Structure 1
Amino acid sequence: MDAETLAFLTRPGLTRLWTAARTRLERNGLRPTGTTRLQHLDAPEREALSLLLARPVTGPTATISLPDLDARLHASVAGRGLAAILEALGPPLTDRRAVRDAAAAERVRVWSTARTELESTSLSSHPWTERWLEDLGRGGTLTRQVPHTATTVVTQAIRTLATLFPATDPHPTPAAWGRGELATVATGSAHGLDDGTLLSRLVLRGIALAHDTEFPTDAPARRALWRMALVTPDEVSSTVLTHGLRPTGGTWREAALRERADHHLETHVTLRELRALSLEMPPGTRIHVCENPRVIEAAADTGRPAPLVCTSGSATTVVLTLLDALAAAGCTFAYHGDFDWPGIALANRITQRYDAAPWRMRAADYEYLATRAQVRGTPTIPLTGPPTEAAWDPELAPTMTAVGIALHEEAALDLLLEDLG
């Protein structure tokens, strides 16, 4: 474009025309179709439009046919069409329709990839996953991402959830994870599931749906939800309470456990310590598992030598990690807990996961403790809530229902200490 033509096209009286024409072309796939209407024209604009269009523009309003303007520019003004002129004047034109179509196609591809990935994993057997995928599609968080990022994150989320929720099973035995370890497996980075990341939000939404609970709105609720999926948010704040563990490994870590056991000291072990410990035990070692820390405290006070692990009420990730390692080392287990319905539910979980023997947890044991409490005049607690069948003794739940009192583990403490001796 020669300097004279450029100077003519860039005169201030044409600025509004080029702006309006650019808007129209970008909406129409860069095709010069339709008309544009300019209002409140001043004298310089009327003069410039008259020269450009080769017709007088005298009023305050002008309606300009874009096909005619395109032909006029081609034939007489610059030897090129409207789109080329706008490109030359800058900035480059954007085909907004093509951009929208491409974005829509990318979104379809993201969800197609996600669905294919989901169907290739164990998640396809879980009924909540369809709602999870639909919720992601309706929400704007994922769709606002660059398509490559969206595809990567949703694929990582599916694989993470598939790790946490294997195929449905009548007796599932989910693995326990540290969040950093799980993030490394999913993303290659130990921080991939940190609070605030898009991936952590997608995974937590899946966990919430799987457990039919609300999506967490604060940090404590997020940590609780991670633990519900047997994921420990960090590897040092949660511990498992033990007493009398004597692993045979040769490092200072195993020696420290043996020394504490010899001195009848309880030990809190973190998840990070468990990653480094060798928990090989003497052949035939039986591990007694209790629900309440008071049992460990009493065992330490009275110098009981038997190895003892406490679930501290709910058997968190670190507890299960220790028991998993002991099971892998060939240990056997005996379990005792509270005689109430939550206690029976926890006992079911432990006895089924580790094939643990009931430890003074049968109907006869409950009847004996209930009778002893009544004879001694010990205040009793009413048994409340829906009954839970005991997997190891079908008579236990009916007996508890008939007697109607809850008995915490401390009611059997003297008998448990006898066994630990």
Structure 2
Amino acid sequence: MTNAGAEGEPPLDAESLAFLNRPGLTRLWAAARTRLERGGLQPTGTIRLQNLDAQEREALSLLLARPVTGPTATIRLPDLDIRLRASAVGRGLAATLAELGPPLTDRRAARNAAQAERIRLWSAAETTLAATPLAGQPWARPWLEEIRRGGTLTRQPSGTALTTVTQAIDTLATLFPGTTPGPAPATWGRGELATRTTGSAHGLDDGTLLARLVLRGIAAARGADVPTDAPGRRALWRRASVIPDEVSSTVLTYGLRPRGGTWGEKTLRERADRALETHLTLRELRTLRLNMPPGTRVHVCENPRVVEAAADAGCTAPLVCTSGSATTVVLTLLDALATAGCAFAYHGDFDWTGIALANRIMERYRAEPWRMTAADYEYLATRAELHGTPSLPLAGPQVAAVWDAELAPIMEAFGVALHEECALEPLLGDLE
């Protein structure tokens, strides 16, 4: 609330301000504010207040200079405006409300302005599209119309919306420079393409609004569905001669011995024989054949320290590390191993984030818990307590373990988070 007067008017005196701020008038001012903001800030029409209590009836009677005795009152806003001007308040309803609360918003004008802005946005988008090779492609205008109907852009600030749709059109025109949606003459890296059309190498990063709009355009050009997962999005980029980043993210592996005579298969076997860990990229996984011996049991861990310790100990069992997250590259490798007929055993941190990750892996691959039961947790927590190991508090909301209903309650009872490194000794024993 502010004591500053409306523009050109002195502030309300303390007595008038105190009267207008009486609790009995609170609902009146709220209803009047709503009506004025919807009606172009003009004091027209009526408001109806129901279920009035004694305090409200008294305050309204004094304000309106007429008795209000029943549970309901109907107030004509023109009359209230005149009454305020003629009283010690000395100003109309709009100025009074502005003094009692935040500035009034002319919602009708705002709606009209927003509508005009939308018209300008789509007119500019149509003009931009018409000036590119996309104008001759039958899918382009339906793509733009679908974006318009979806409303995503109109929820953005006007400048952002115009920039985004313009960049989407420019990007698609770069990818499809001819009059038919054939492949572009050049192959683009996604970062390179983004730099050319947005000025930023990250302009087309996965998950950005611009990337979503461009992918919708590529799907329209190719007659394909819009993908809902990361592998599908990467595949769609490739259909437009765009190479997504497939080398910066890796999955840490150890002890994989696929059968076969290709360079990649031989390399994995040789590194496994030398007790060397291997980082695999998405690019490698797209071409690598993981023909594993039938029934191969692959252990999956959460933390790289387990892989490091397994390598130091010369363990022989296959091991895959999620590095704390089920990223696309991790899931791509596990999917390939599952397709090859491998079985999985999973171990991770005993904290709620670790349990959530374990749930995801176990449900997706029907993995067995690997020393991840309530009994395993209780043993490790008790041992840490006996050894005087400083404890890490268990934080966050509880997450039930899909493989052991007793695990979450016992973790809650101990209240201690245990990272995977606490279990290195028994884990390494299983990997020998």
Alignment TM-score, normalising by the size of structure 1: 0.55
What is the CA-CA distance between 1:173 and the residue it aligns to? Answer: 5.4
Give the structure 2 partner of residue 69 of structure 1. Answer: 80
Give the structure 2 partner of residue 233 of structure 1. Answer: 244
> Pairwise CA RMSD of aligned residues?
2.3
After TM superposition, the structure 1 = structure 2 runs for residues 205-224 of structure 1, keeping only pairs within 5 Å, are 205-224=216-235
* Per-residue deviation, residues 188-208 of structure 1 (Å, max 9, x unmatched): 111110100000000000000
Long gaps (5+) in structure 1: 238-269, 273-291, 294-421
4+ long deviations beyond 3 Å? 169-173
Query: Closer, same or farther in 2 for the Cα pair 1:170/1:23, shift >3 Å?
Result: closer
SS at structure 2 position matched to 1:79: coil
SS at structure 1 position matched to 2:152: helix
* Per-residue deviation, residues 140-180 of structure 1 (Å, max 9, x unmatched): 32221111111000000000000000122698752210000
Query: Closer, same or farther in 2 for the Cα pair 1:57/1:174, shift >3 Å?
Result: same
**Alignment partner of 1:160 is 2:171:** yes
The answer (yes or no) to whether the contact 1:178–1:235 under 8 Å persists in 2 is: no
* Per-residue deviation, residues 61-105 of structure 1 (Å, max 9, x unmatched): 110000000011011231100000000001111111111111111
State the distance in 2 between where 1:236 and 1:21 align. Answer: 61
For 2:80, give the aligned amino acid.
L
Give the structure 2 partner of residue 92 of structure 1. Answer: 103
Long gaps (5+) in structure 2: 1-11, 249-280, 289-432
1:142 to 135, 140, 153: 153
How many percent of aligned residue pairs carry the same amino acid?
74
1:44 to 55, 58, 65: 55
Give the structure 1 partner of residue 194 of structure 2. Answer: 183
The answer (yes or no) to whether the contact 1:122–1:167 under 8 Å persists in 2 is: yes
Query: Closer, same or farther in 2 for the Cα pair 1:50/1:125, shift >3 Å?
Result: same
SS at structure 2 position matched to 1:183: helix
**Alignment partner of 1:202 is 2:206:** no
After TM superposition, the structure 1 = structure 2 runs for residues 288-327 of structure 1, keeping only pairs within 5 Å, are none
For 2:227, give the aligned amino acid.
P
For 1:4, give the aligned amino acid.
E
Q: State which drifts further: 139-148 or 31-40.
A: 139-148
Query: Closer, same or farther in 2 for the Cα pair 1:171/1:211, shift >3 Å?
Result: closer
For 2:233, give the aligned amino acid.
R
* Per-residue deviation, residues 257-303 of structure 1 (Å, max 9, x unmatched): xxxxxxxxxxxxx9x9xxxxxxxxxxxxxxxxxxx99xxxxxxxxxx
State the distance in 2 between where 1:178 and 1:169 align. Answer: 22
Which of the two has higher C-alpha Rg?
Answer: 1
Aligned residues: 242
Query: Closer, same or farther in 2 for the Cα pair 1:173/1:181, shift >3 Å?
Result: closer
Q: State which drifts further: 170-179 or 50-59.
A: 170-179
SS at structure 1 position matched to 2:161: helix
**Alignment partner of 1:174 is 2:219:** no
Give the structure 1 partner of residue 17 of structure 2. Answer: 6
State the distance in 2 between where 1:73 and 1:119 align. Answer: 57
**Alignment partner of 1:24 is 2:65:** no
What is the CA-CA distance between 1:236 and the residue it aligns to? Answer: 4.5
What is the CA-CA distance between 1:10 and the residue it aligns to? Answer: 0.8
State the distance in 1 between where 2:133 and 2:150 align. Answer: 24
For 2:100, give the aligned amino acid.
L
For 1:10, give the aligned amino acid.
N
* Per-residue deviation, residues 299-325 of structure 1 (Å, max 9, x unmatched): xxxxxxxxxxxxxxxxxxxxxxxxxxx
Alignment TM-score, normalising by the size of structure 2: 0.54
